[in-house]
Amino acid sequence: MSFDLVLFGGTGDLTWRKLMPALFQAFRHGKLPEGGRLIAVARDERTDEQYRAFIKERFAEVDSSKQPSDEEFARFAELLHYRRMDLSRPEDYAGLKDAINARGAHTVVLFLATSPHLFPQICAQLGAVGLNGLNVRVVLEKPLGHDLASAQEINRVVRAAFDENQALRIDHYLGKPAVQNLSALRFGNALFEPLWRRESIANIQITLAERLGVGTRGDYYDTTGALRDMVQNHALQLLTMIAMEPPPTNDANCIRDEKLKVLRSLKPFTPEGVARDVIRGQYRAGTVDGKAVVGYLDEVKVPAASACETFVALRTEVQNWRWAGVPFYLRTGKRMAVPEAQIVINFREVPHPIFPGASRANKLVIKLQPEDGLELHLLAAKGSATSGSGTSEVLAPVSLDLDFDKAFSSHRVGAYERLLLDAIAGRLNLFVRSDEQEQAWRWVEPVLEAWRNDATGPRPYAAGTWGPAAASALVARDGFAWSEEQ
C-alpha cells in the first residue's frame, strides 16, 4: 500500500525527537508499508540531502539502542524528502498537492507537527486546494485548544475541510503498549470482569509522575499547566479505558462511544468541589536523583511570579451503576520523587478477616512506564506464629509480576510508532474523537475557572518529592493512601 506521509513542522522538535525515530523503528522492523514516502515540510530552503543529513545528526541525540547504523540510515534516508513551504501561501499548498498527485499514492497522511495556532490556517488551505480527498487523513498533535471554546473552534475549522473520520487527534498515551494491554486485560479475558465494579473495588489511582522539570519549554508550559498538559488528555483517557463498559465490537466508534459515556458520567466540579477535591502544586528547589535542581520559578522562560501548577491531584467519581461511590484519584506532576506512570486498582478488603494482622487488600498495578507490566498483589501464607492465644498462620504480601518486555521478546512497538502506523493504515481506535475531547474540556473548565478566581495559587512542594502534603490528605480523607505510601 503506497503512502505519502507529510510532516508539517518537519524541522521541529516533535518531528526529530519523536516522529522520525518512531518511523525509523517501524522501518527497521519491517512494519512500515512498502512504497512509502516521508515528506518533511518547513519554511527554510534545504535539499533532500541536507534534510537527510539534519535528521541523521539529530538521531545521535536519541536513545543509543535505537541508533541506526550508517547502512540502515542510508536505506531509511531514501524515503525522506524535503519541501520548502510558506504556510501562508496558497501557491505552496497547490504545489504540494501537485507533487502528491503526481505520484498517486494510495493513502496520504498529513501530520501537523506545528504549533497549534497554525492548525486552522493549514486545514483551511488544505481544504481550499482540495488536498482533503477521501484517501487523505490529517493528524493533529496536542495541545488542541486551551479550553472548551478554543477546542471547539479548532474542531470547527478542521471539520470544514475534513470529515470526523479523516481527522486523527493524537493522545500519545493511547499508543503506549500498556494501554493496549489494559484493553486486552479487560476485554480479552473474562477473569477480571466480575470484579471490575463498585462491589469489589475500593478505589482507583492513576499516577503520571515525571522526574523531569519543564526544561526549556517554560514558555509553553507556563500558559498550559499540569491540568491542561496531562489531566485533560492523558489521565482522562486512561480513566475512560478503565471505567468504560465493554464495547459491542472493537470498532473505533464503538470504543469512542463507550469512552464518551464515561466522560459524561464524571462528577461535575462545583467551586466548593474544586476547593475540596483538587490540589494544585508548584515545585520549589530540591534534590532529584541525587542532584540539586532549581524551583519552577527559576526555570528559563518562566515568569518570576507565575501561579502555574506543575502538579495536580484530584478526586472524582464516575456516576453510573458500575462505579457509583468509588473514588478515582488522579495525580500528575513534574519533578516528582520517581518517574512512574501507573494505574492501581485497589480491591476491597476481605469482609471478615480470620488471619490476625492481615488486613492488606489486593491490588492490581498496571504499569505504563518505565516498565510495562502488570502486578497482582496478594497475601500468601508465610509460616506460623505462636502467641498466648495459640498458633496461627502468618500472611505476607507477595505479587504476581508480568513484564511484557520479557513475555514478548519481539520488538514492542512504541507509542508514536503505533500511532503513525495506525494513521497510515486508517485504524482509528487509538485516536480521540472531537466529542470526547470537547467533553474532557467541559469537565476541566470549572477547575480552571475556580483557580482563576482563587488568589492563593498552587501549594509549594520540594522537587524530588510526591507533591504537596495536601495530596496525601485528599486520599487519607477517604481512609486510603497513595499506592507508593502503603
Give helix 236-243 / helix 252-265 axis angle, nearest 10°: 100
Residue closest to ligand BG6, measured at CB: 229
Answer yes or no whether residue 417 interacts with ligand BG6 by CB under 6 A.
no
* Least distance between ligand BG6 and beta carbon 109 (Å): 20
* Least distance between ligand BG6 and beta carbon 212 (Å): 7
Q: Which residues does 362 contact at the CB level (< 8 Å), separation at least 6? A: 347, 376, 377, 378, 379
Nearer Cβ to ligand BG6, position 229 or 438?
229
* Least distance between ligand BG6 and beta carbon 38 (Å): 22
Size of site (CB under 6 A) for ligand BG6:
4
Nearer Cβ to ligand BG6, position 210 or 277?
210
Which positions from 192 through 211 interact with ligand BG6, judged by CB under 6 A? 210
Which positions from 324 through 363 interact with ligand BG6, judged by CB under 6 A? 341
Q: Say if residues 364 and 374 touch (Cβ distance below 8 Å).
A: yes
Q: Which helix (H) or strand (E) holds 366?
A: strand 363-369
Could you tell me where the DSSP H helices lie in 108-216? 119-128, 148-161, 177-187
Residue 94 CB-density burial (10 A; 0-12 exposed, 13-18 middle, 19+ buried): middle
65: number of Cβ within 10 Å: 5
Which positions from 145 through 184 interact with ligand BG6, judged by CB under 6 A? 172
User: CA-CA distance, 104 to 98, in Å (whole number)?
Assistant: 10
**Catalytic center residues:** 234
User: CA-CA distance, 112 to 167, in Å (whole number)?
Assistant: 11
Nearer Cβ to ligand BG6, position 229 or 422?
229
Nearer Cβ to ligand BG6, position 46 or 172?
172
* Least distance between ligand BG6 and beta carbon 332 (Å): 9
- Residue 425: phi, psi to the nearest 5? -80, -10
CA pseudo-torsion sign 109, 110, 114, 120: negative
- Using CB under 6 A, which of 4, 222, 229, 438 touches ligand BG6? 229
Nearer Cβ to ligand BG6, position 10 or 333?
333
Reading the block at residue 364, the C-alpha cell is 492490581
* Least distance between ligand BG6 and beta carbon 242 (Å): 17
Nearer Cβ to ligand BG6, position 341 or 343?
341
302-334: b or e for each residue (b if 16 or more CB lie within 10 Å)?
Answer: beeebbbbbbbbbbbebeeebbeebbbbbbbbb
* Least distance between ligand BG6 and beta carbon 146 (Å): 13
Residue 367 CB-density burial (10 A; 0-12 exposed, 13-18 middle, 19+ buried): buried
Query: Which residues make up the interface to ligand BG6 (CB under 6 A)?
Result: 172, 210, 229, 341
